[in-house]
A and B are shown apart, each in its own frame.
Chain A
Amino acid sequence: MNEQSRDSFEERAQALFHDSVEGLDFATRARLTQARNAVIEAASASRRSWFLRVGVLTPAAGVTAAAILAAFLWLGSPLSQHAVTVADGQANFEDLELVASADEGDAMDMLQDDIEFYDWAEKAADPGPPA
């Protein structure tokens, strides 16, 4: 068979397929639109939560870490005006552990989600020894 017959065969197959796509009934089109809308809604919500995590949790994690550091300094300072008993110190440490463990969980989630970014940032920050 020559090239011309091959082309006409392929063209006919393509035309038939496109006709069948155009001829899809209304119910099928509606179901496809419904499926797409569900996907878009899910994708949009997922994207928003990603922005939210990066935009809110990163500063929040920093603030929490600073608060923990300040608390450690305050508790360990000999110049502190507050008399800290052993029992008070234990209670405070328990509270700190609760806060720190909760924060660690969030930080781990963020790290897992944005591992590509952290990897890139580490490499960009440390270009290595000059050639």
Chain B
Amino acid sequence: MPPFDTLNQAWTVWDGPAPGPEDAVLEYTRELDKFLAEIERRAFRMAQVALRDPDDALDVVQDAMLKLARNYASRPSAEWRPLFYRILENGIRDLQRRRTVRKRIMSWLPGPKDDPDGEAQDPLDNVADQAPAIPEALMQGQAMQQLEVSLRALPARQREAFMLRNFEGLDVAETATAMGCSQGSVKTHYSRAVHTLREQLGEVW
């Protein structure tokens, strides 16, 4: 390759994120918008399953979108999905750590104990439902709620592996990228998650 006399010559040969006209910005924006639109609802539901709070879930998803656009936009779009979920899972973990710290601090403080995550059992939960027939949609909703409760009880890495593989449909390699671990670990976490969930839900499903 001949030496470059000017930077402009180098730009013409470089195969990285080359500068271009306004069309390049539009094309990039359109591609990013399409990717995020395709993924945002599932990402939100996965964050909601992990965090329970819809506002927190929305914040984490938007933050993941921003970080992907800022830090990884130059990567090929085929790599965006595992990268996005890696950012999302990191965001979920960070938020859960902050909650744990907050809960510990609250437990040290005097006065009535708050229940920031709403974990206290509602007495109405134990009241039997007298409705004679349960519509299919409601039954499906209840089944999903049971699945969510069981997922939250799993160790974090098992929950991540199950949601990424089963809900999002990532393959083992993509899941490993998203989780930042080996493919063997993904298989182990996923297998244990399925085993535990099936044991817990098999009777009622």
List the interface of chain A (C-beta within 8 A of B).
1, 5-6, 9-10, 12-14, 16-17, 19-21, 23-24, 28-29, 31-33, 35-36, 38-40, 42-44, 46-48, 50-51, 54-55, 58, 116-117, 120-121, 124-127
Q: Is the CB of A36 within 8 A of B66?
A: no
List the interface of chain B (C-beta within 8 A of A).
1, 3-4, 7-8, 10-11, 13-14, 16, 19-20, 22, 24-25, 28-29, 32-33, 36-37, 40-42, 44-45, 54, 58, 61-62, 65-66, 69-70, 73, 140-141, 143-144, 147, 166-167, 169, 194, 197-198, 201-202, 205
Nearest residue (CB) in A for B198 is: A9
Closest CB pairs A-B (n = 10): A43-B69, A35-B62, A121-B10, A125-B3, A54-B19, A39-B65, A16-B144, A17-B167, A44-B29, A32-B40
Nearest residue (CB) in A for B146 is: A16
Q: Is the CB of A35 within 8 A of B198?
A: no
Nearest residue (CB) in B for A44 is: B29
Identify which of B8, B41, B205 contacts A12 (C-beta below 8 A). Answer: B205
Q: A16-B144, A24-B44, A120-B14 are in contact. List 4 more A-B contacts (CB 8 A).
A: A9-B194, A17-B167, A32-B41, A32-B61
Docked CA distance A29–B62 (Å)? 13
Identify which of A16, A29, A39, A126 contacts B69 (C-beta below 8 A). Answer: A39
Q: Min CB distance, A59 to chain B, in Å?
A: 8
Given the known inter-chain contacts A6-B198, A32-B40, A125-B10, please indicate yes or no for A13 contacting B147, CB distance below 8 A.
Answer: yes
Q: Which residues of B contact A14 (CB under 8 A)?
A: 166-167, 169
Provide 6 A-B residue pairs closer than 8 Å at the C-beta atoms, listed in order of the A residue: A14-B169, A21-B41, A35-B58, A35-B65, A121-B10, A127-B1
